[in-house]
Structure 1
Amino acid sequence: MILTGPEITSASKDGRLRISPFTATQVNPNSYNVRLGGTLLTYTDQVLDTHRPNPTRRTEIGDDGHVFQPGELYLGHTLEEVGSDLFVPLLFGRSSVGRLGLFVEITAPIGDIGFHG
């Protein structure tokens, strides 16, 4: 079941859904718009190895924003912490972001019940 905007607001108020910080203007008819957090990671090696940690470089997004470079993979996080013990979270990019050629998520749009972060 996908929650409607009013159901998202209600579930956030009564604790069934945790969104922090919660901003009412981010609620849509059947979704909540999370925002990009203030830190990005980029890999520093050209070759990535799934069997060992890959070194990254940390970049803080300043007040002026960030210019994304073509061909660079950025790992970001949301400003909001989201979690629920009842609902499965889904993360999808907005079409306005997709039209810019940016992918919000690539392979893992489904979160886990009980995860809060």
Structure 2
Amino acid sequence: MTVLSDRDIKRALEEGDIVVKPLEEEYLEEALGPASLDLRLGNEFVVFKTLHKPCIDPTVDAGENTERIVIDEDEEFVINPGELVLAVTHEWIEINAPDITGVLHGRSSLGRLGIQAHVEAGYVDPGWRGRLTLELVNFNPMPVKLRPGMRVVQIVFHRLSSPAERTYAESSGKYHGDERPSPSKMHLDFCRG
């Protein structure tokens, strides 16, 4: 796999191999790095409820253990120490080329505040369409304010050695087309024969 440079990313955007919406021209100049593109935080979050249960069971729909919070674009969301919060990117992403994939990385400026931008869901397969769910964790001993529109992750695009036989949309695709932060859908793995 090779990493796409800023020139390659611009070309892929122009040709529709990668779609990022919204992507204003002035924001592209700010967000495009030598080999990555910064993505912004959306305004919707999913927090985990404190329930009187001994544990979370991955064979059961995790949605019952969560609460969805939507804030205005000019509001702040406070993530507390040790808290896991699901969030969503402001941008809708499409990877239309069967030989391009993306990998999310937290921005170092946010990491230096103790915020991890994703726990495990950092891989974006060819054929993905949707807003990306972020798994934010605060490792800081202090609460941290987050604001919609702030740059929180960068996506690095890679070109595969050959096109994928099946894209994400053609395979399991549990999260395909997500527009909101999605709790785990692992319970669906247990429903399959």
State TM-score, norm by structure 1: 0.90
> Helix, strand or coil for the counterpart of 2:89?
coil
For 1:83 and 1:3, the matched residues in 2 are separated by: 16
Post-superposition offset of 1:16: 1.0
Correspondences of 1:30-49 after superposition (within 5 Å): 30-46=35-51, 47-49=55-57
Which residue identity is paired with 1:91? Answer: L
Question: Which residue number corresponds to residue 3 of structure 2?
Answer: 2
> Helix, strand or coil for the counterpart of 1:33?
strand
- Contact 1:39-1:60 within 8 A present in 2 as well: yes
For 1:96 and 1:69, the matched residues in 2 are separated by: 18
Query: Structure 1: which 5+ residue stretches go unaligned?
Result: none
Are 2:83 and 1:72 aligned? Answer: yes
Structure 1 residue ranges (4+ consecutive) displaced by more than 2 angstroms after TM superposition: none
Cα-to-partner distance string for 1:52-111 (whole Å, 9 max, x where unaligned)? 112211112331321211122100111111121231111010111111111111113211
Between Structure 1 and Structure 2, which shows a larger proportion of strand residues? 2
Cα-to-partner distance string for 1:25-55 (whole Å, 9 max, x where unaligned)? 2111110000111100011144322011122
Are 2:100 and 1:95 aligned? Answer: no
Please provide the CA RMSD for this pair: 1.4
Which residue identity is paired with 2:20? Answer: I
State TM-score, norm by structure 2: 0.57
Which residue identity is paired with 1:2? Answer: V
- Contact 1:83-1:89 within 8 A present in 2 as well: no
Question: Which residue number corresponds to residue 16 of structure 1?
Answer: 17
Which residue identity is paired with 1:38? Answer: N
Post-superposition offset of 1:13: 1.4
- Contact 1:41-1:74 within 8 A present in 2 as well: yes
Query: Structure 2: which 5+ residue stretches go unaligned?
Result: 131-193
Post-superposition offset of 1:6: 2.0
Which one of the candidate residues 105, 112, 121 is aligned to 1:108? Answer: 121
Which structure has the higher relative contact order (CA within 8 Å, separation 6+)?
A: 2
For 2:20 and 2:39, the matched residues in 1 are separated by: 9
For 2:91 and 2:83, the matched residues in 1 are separated by: 24
